[in-house]
Amino acid sequence: MGDATNDPRVPEGTVVLTASGAGGPGGPTAGTLDVDPDRLTGRRLPRYAAWVCLAVTVAVGVLVRITGITIIGLADWVVALAASFIGYTAWTLVVEGRRHAVDRLATTAIYAAAAAALVPLFWILITLVVKGFSVLSWDFLTSTMRNVNPRAEGGGVAHAIVGTLEQVAIAAVISVPVGILTAVYLVEYGRGRLAKAISFFVDVMTGIPSIVAGMFIYTFWILTLGFPTSGLAAGLALSILMVPVVIRATEEILKIVPNELREGALALGVPKYKVILRIVLPTAISGIITGVMLAVARVTGETAPLLLTTFLAQDMNGNPFSGNQASLPVFIWDQIQRGTTASLDRAWGGALVLIIIVMIFYAGARVLAAIYAPKKV
Amino acid sequence: MTNADTHVGTAAETPGPSGATAQEARLPYRIEIKDLNIYYGDFLAVEKVNLAIEQRSVMAFIGPSGCGKSTVLRTLDRMHEVTPGARVEGQVLLDGQDIYAPNVDPVLVRRTIGMVFQRPNPFPTMSIYENVVAGLKLQKDGRHRGRAMDDIVEQSLRGANLWEEVKDRLSKPGAGLSGGQQQRLCIARAIAIQPEVLLMDEPASALDSISTLAIEDLIRELKSQYTIIIVTHNMQQAHRIADNTAFFNLAGVGQPGHLIESGPTHVMFNNPKNQQTIDYIQGRFG
Ligand SMILES: Nc1ncnc2c1ncn2[C@@H]1O[C@H](COP(=O)(O)OP(=O)(O)O)[C@@H](O)[C@H]1O
Ligand SMILES: [Mg+2]
């Protein structure tokens, strides 16, 4: 191997790394590396490329809208977006090469899909807030529909809020213990046929349409056993929907509690039930709370089962054990079908209150979950 | 194979001439494993183990991975059966009493025989203090309270060489310690229930070399009070800490593991009798 610094093949400015060894003691060179300074770099699009494409998209969209020229009748913005999508990829292909073009295509597609999923969500939220907010007032929250002409203005949702909270509370009181205990059985004890059967029925229950849950309580609880329509009946119907959700959520969380913790406790001579109560559940509690709250949020908006079990009421009924009770979902349905401007406004107001209640549940779950989460410091 | 299995036993029944070793060897056995077959479902994982373990000694299990070292270890405190479908045939005698006898309560066995796992597993919801007393607190009777607990915590943490490092933050979560500290916390947790035997499954394999040396020092100290059985894949480690060594091997994947040879560590490393042991030890050292 020759002296690299004098080697005519090595371009000017090339870094020459030398390592001593075979060159003898003190010898400056042995193996030398010829390094191409460009081997780590490639041509890239300018930073502002994405913004250029966005600007072009807007420009094309506006242009199409003004001139009215469209391709095969597609909406103007669709054409503009598609054009920039293709243009952006092509530009990358020319400048950066195939691998980067594919990368950009996939990245753009992912962002577009995420945006497509979020747009309706924000749309609903904004509509809800805009329409509902003007109705929301202290009066609306504290008065009922008693003695209010449902087609005229006035009235409020107090009776529906009370009804919804009570019905959901009943559903939770039934579902949470049943659901958590079943999940504990399935994860910690369940082996063999019985566990398989239970697991199968949980799957079936998850798929029960909510109206069927309502029908079941209606025929069994009200027609057969002869109990009156009530908030309790509604709570029972909701719990049919809630139990499988709680089971599955808890099961998933219990499964990710590391087995090492169970074994660690068992090896200390701790009886199994105590391992579950004092090690497994406390480790999982924060996830279980989140799961339970999601299940609560899910049933809070159910309408169909309530129609069959407690129907609706225009007046406050604080007693969930007897008589029809109002609820927010049924209130919304009732107001919409009255069809006047005032009743539609009330429906929006009720919807906003419903969403706020769900949000409060969710925020509460996050706070509790954070409080109970295992800590490192 | 089986002739070598009871090496330790033979040595004890006919005490050798050299005074000290003979004295030690005459101590009664803490644990005797007799004709033990260990299954996972229908799979025979380890076949026909016969081995005796002396009191207040360190026994190392060595052998290639998958040969059943952990499996044998877990049968000694009835942790094996925690795995669904797992079962054993044969006997494990603790001070002469078969721990697999029908009227034996596995929970009580585990209070007598402590275990430290390969990966440190402190309870994440508990503080350092609570981790140490977890075993005592969660055992049904709950006879220890207040000051007695404080003393046990200090003793156990000192015993695990961790006291000086954590005495000012006992109420902090155990999960916030370093890996080596967590493992010593798990050892403290295991000795807090005052077991008679301590099982350790590659307790240092997840640790750096400094923590490993700390654990090895600790094992040498603990030997004066406990009978210790340690699984290790590190033969130098076995050499450094073990009084006796048992070598396990398996003929091939899907075949049961066997105890090939066991005996005093220096004999096992310098003068092994079985060709498989020779190959294994030379393969690792040379
Ligand atoms: N939970 C288990 N279920 C089924 N087979 C297992 C289980 N644990 C270990 N085995 C099998 O038992 C044999 C011995 O495993 P193990 O005791 O972990 O070996 P070692 O600790 O010596 O590496 C292996 O063949 C392994 O596949
Ligand atoms: Mg192992």
Distance between CA A237 and CA A210 in Å, rounded? 8
What residue type is assigned to position B111 of the chain? Answer: R
Tokens describing residue B94: 């603790």
Q: Which of A77-91, A309-323, B80-94, B168-182 shows the lowest per-residue confidence on average (mean pLDDT)?
A: A77-91
* Residues B150-169, mean pLDDT to the nearest whole number: 92
Statement: residue A47 has pLDDT above 50: yes
Cβ contacts of A375 on chain B, cutoff 8 Å: 173, 175-176
Q: Which of B79, B173, B186 sits opposite A376 (nearest CB)?
A: B173
Tokens describing residue A133: 């907010």
Q: How close does chain A come to B192, measured CA to CA in Å?
A: 9
Statement: residue A72 has pLDDT above 80: no
**Please, are residues B272 and B239 in contact by the beta-carbon 8 Å criterion?**
no
The band of B36, judged by pLDDT with boundaries at 50, 70 and 90, is very high
Tokens describing residue B198: 């301590």
The band of A104, judged by pLDDT with boundaries at 50, 70 and 90, is confident
Q: Which of B38, B39, B44, B70 to mutate to test the pocket of ligand 1 (most atoms within 8 A of CB)?
A: B70
If you count residue pairs, one on A and one on B, with CB atoms under 8 Å apart, how many are there?
83
Statement: residue B208 has pLDDT above 70: yes
Q: Is B157 helix (H, G, I), strand (E, B) or coil?
A: helix
ipTM field: 0.87
Q: Is B256 in the pocket of ligand 1 (CB under 6 A)?
A: no
Residues 6+ apart with CB under 8 A from A199: A186, A190
Q: Which of A173-177, A362-366, B207-211 shows the lowest per-residue confidence on average (mean pLDDT)?
A: B207-211
Statement: residue A1 has pLDDT above 80: no
Statement: residue B233 has pLDDT above 90: no
Cβ contacts of A279 on chain B, cutoff 8 Å: 123, 125, 138
Cβ contacts of B193 on chain A, cutoff 8 Å: 268-269
Q: Which of A26-40, A150-164, B38-52, B106-120 shows the lowest per-residue confidence on average (mean pLDDT)?
A: A26-40
**Length of chain A in residues, anyone?**
377
Residues 6+ apart with CB under 8 A from A203: A244
Question: What pLDDT, in 10s, does the model give residues B18-27?
Answer: 444 444 445 5
Tokens describing residue A43: 């041509």
Statement: residue A330 has pLDDT above 90: yes
Question: If you classify domain A158-372 with CATH, what class do you get?
Answer: mainly alpha
Statement: residue A85 has pLDDT above 60: yes
What residue type is assigned to position B67 of the chain? Answer: C
CA A260 to ligand 2 centroid distance, Å: 14
A278 touches B: beta carbon within 8 Å: yes
Q: Which of A261, A263, A377 sits opposite B173 (nearest CB)?
A: A377
Q: What mean pLDDT, rounded, does chain B reach?
A: 87
Predicted local distance difference test score (pLDDT) of residue B18: 42
Statement: residue B245 has pLDDT above 80: yes
Q: What mean pLDDT, rounded, does chain A reach?
A: 87
Predicted local distance difference test score (pLDDT) of residue B2: 41
Statement: residue B164 has pLDDT above 90: yes
The band of B211, judged by pLDDT with boundaries at 50, 70 and 90, is confident
Statement: residue A69 has pLDDT above 50: yes
Question: What pLDDT, in 10s, does the model give residues A256-307?
Answer: 999 999 999 999 999 999 999 999 999 999 999 999 998 999 899 999 999 9
Q: Is the dihedral of CA A163, A165, A170, A172 positive or negative?
A: positive
Predicted local distance difference test score (pLDDT) of residue A94: 87
Give the residue from B224, B222, B218, B245 showing the smallest Cα distance to B233. B245
The band of A349, judged by pLDDT with boundaries at 50, 70 and 90, is very high
Q: Domain locations in chain A?
A: 1-41, 49-133, 158-372
Nearest CA in chain A to B186: A264
Predicted local distance difference test score (pLDDT) of residue A49: 84
A264 touches B: beta carbon within 8 Å: yes
Q: Is B83 in the pocket of ligand 1 (CB under 6 A)?
A: yes
Predicted local distance difference test score (pLDDT) of residue A24: 46
Question: What pLDDT, in 10s, does the model give residues A109-125?
Answer: 898 899 889 999 999 99
Q: Which of A91-100, A199-208, A209-218 shows the lowest per-residue confidence on average (mean pLDDT)?
A: A91-100
Q: Which of B84, B107, B138 sits opposite A191 (nearest CB)?
A: B84
Distance between CA A328 and CA B249 in Å, rounded? 69
A263 touches B: beta carbon within 8 Å: yes
The band of A252, judged by pLDDT with boundaries at 50, 70 and 90, is very high
Q: Is B40 in the pocket of ligand 1 (CB under 6 A)?
A: yes
A375 touches B: beta carbon within 8 Å: yes
Which atom of ligand 1 is nearest to B202's Cα? 21
Task: Say which residue, A176 or B29, is predicted with more confidence.
Answer: A176
* Residues A242-263, mean pLDDT to the nearest whole number: 96
Q: Does the beta-carbon distance from B190 to A269 stay under 8 Å?
A: no
pTM for the structure as a whole: 0.81
Give the percent of chain B with pLDDT over 70.
87
Statement: residue B17 has pLDDT above 50: no
Statement: residue A236 has pLDDT above 60: yes
Give the percent of chain A with pLDDT over 70.
89
Distance between CA A136 and CA A85 in Å, rounded? 43
Predicted local distance difference test score (pLDDT) of residue A73: 59
Q: Which of A56-70, A311-325, B2-16, B19-33 shows the lowest per-residue confidence on average (mean pLDDT)?
A: B2-16
Ligand nearest to the CA of B69: 1
What kind and span of H or E run contains B248?
strand B244-250
Instruction: For residue B42, count CB atoms less than 10 angstroms from its CB and return exposed for 0-12, middle for 13-18, buried for 19 or more.
Output: exposed
Predicted local distance difference test score (pLDDT) of residue A96: 86
Q: Is B67 in the pocket of ligand 1 (CB under 6 A)?
A: yes
Helices (H), B160-262: 163-166, 179-192, 209-222, 235-241
Distance between CA A95 and CA A42 in Å, rounded? 9
The band of A172, judged by pLDDT with boundaries at 50, 70 and 90, is very high
What kind and span of H or E run contains B33?
strand B29-40
Statement: residue A17 has pLDDT above 70: no
Domains of chain B with bracketed CATH:
3-281 (3.40.50.300)
